[in-house]
Amino acid sequence: MKRKFFYWIFFIGLLVAILLSLFSIIFEKLFVLAHLLVHFQLQYFVVALVCTLGLLAMKKWYLASSGGIFMLLLYILLLHPIQLFAGEVERVDIFYMNSHYSNEDMQPIIEAIEEYSPKTIALVESNPLIVESLADIGLEPSVNHRSYASSCTVYTSNELSSMVEGQTHLPLCIVSYDDYDLITVHAHRPLGKANIKENVEFFDQLVAIIEDYEEAGRKFIIVGDFNATRYSSYFRSRFGKYVVTNLYSWMVNTPFALPIDHVITNMDVDFVRSGNLGSDHRALLVQINE
């Protein structure tokens, strides 16, 4: 009886993982629920792995083979492009982070910034407290959009060739250096059709900006919380060839972890993910190699 109970647990678990993955991939553009579920492909992979090993131990070869085929296809098509672990950097040129607008303890972020001494600090959901905390250590923003969760703020020690407060469908913070432009972005949470539609329009506007840079032969780096993973066809089709970092950055060390903070660039960069700094997001530390 006990063996039969575990058989059904493993079988149902594998079936649910496969169906959720397929449903989200196939119907992402039709249903809001599918769009939300599409971002959790790693979670489906983990559930399928556990259930497949369980069925294998119970000598259910046919079902275990089905789980193995599903995991292999999922890994090759979607999981492989995602970096599950951080790399290494010798220096930090750009410190990017979603500092979380409701965050009231900025000390870990301030200490990390003092430790890394980045040339540029790019923040989203930058509330007045983080701006005041950085002012206390002598830093004043080069560009600062105050717009609640869509806020973005950039600090830089480099000499700017120009500073622009860009306006698209959603706010941008743009700083222009002699050799490249840095754009900081924050998309809506994909909760509801209106937000998803607005994000897609925003992504299209970013693509137009990228095409302008490419046509002009200009280097660019876009950092931000896109509230989208590369598992989403909306994101992948627009930015797939430019994304260089897909580290799991949100709700890390929980079952809901997602790689939604990205670096999109036509430059040679390395990157690493920070430790826990008190926000629900980890910082991305970027080293420019050009």
Among residues 216, 212, 207, 223, the alpha carbon closest in space to that of 271 is found at 223
Cβ contact 223:184 at 8 Å: yes
Neighbouring CB atoms inside 10 A of 149's CB total 15
Query: In the prediction, which pLDDT does 220 show?
Result: 96
Question: CA–CA separation, 25 vs 27, rounded Å?
Answer: 6
CATH superfamily of 94-288: Endonuclease/exonuclease/phosphatase (3.60.10.10)
Query: In the prediction, which pLDDT does 50 show?
Result: 97
Among residues 286, 279, 280, the alpha carbon closest in space to that of 263 is found at 286
Among residues 104, 102, 83, 121, the alpha carbon closest in space to that of 229 is found at 83
Q: Which long-range contacts (CB under 8 A, 24 or more apart) does 207-211 make?
A: 207/238, 207/239, 209/168, 209/183, 210/242, 210/264
> What tens-digit pLDDT sequence spans the chain (290 residues)?
678 889 999 999 999 999 999 999 999 999 999 999 999 999 999 999 999 999 999 999 999 999 999 999 999 988 887 766 666 788 999 999 999 988 989 999 999 999 999 999 999 999 989 999 999 999 999 888 776 667 889 999 777 766 665 556 777 888 999 899 999 999 998 989 999 999 999 999 999 999 999 999 999 999 999 999 999 999 999 998 887 777 899 998 899 999 999 999 999 998 889 989 999 999 999 999 97
DSSP annotation of 39: G
The domain limits of the chain are 2-79, 94-288
Which stretches within the chain are classed as H helix? 2-26, 32-37, 41-57, 61-74, 107-116, 128-136, 193-216, 233-239
Torsion angles phi and psi, residue 84, rounded to 5: -80, -25
138: left (phi over 0), alpha (psi -120 to 50) or beta: left
Query: In the prediction, which pLDDT does 165 show?
Result: 59
Contacts of 106 (CB under 8 A, 6+ apart): 99, 129, 130, 133, 278
Token couple for 54: 């369980």
Contacts of 108 (CB under 8 A, 6+ apart): 276, 277, 278
Torsion angles phi and psi, residue 171, rounded to 5: -60, 145
Question: CA–CA separation, 149 vs 146, rounded Å?
Answer: 9
Which stretches within 175-248 are classed as H helix? 193-216, 233-239
Token couple for 47: 């559930």
Neighbouring CB atoms inside 10 A of 280's CB total 17
Question: CA–CA separation, 133 vs 115, rounded Å?
Answer: 15
Query: In the prediction, which pLDDT does 231 show?
Result: 93
pTM of the predicted protein model = 0.91
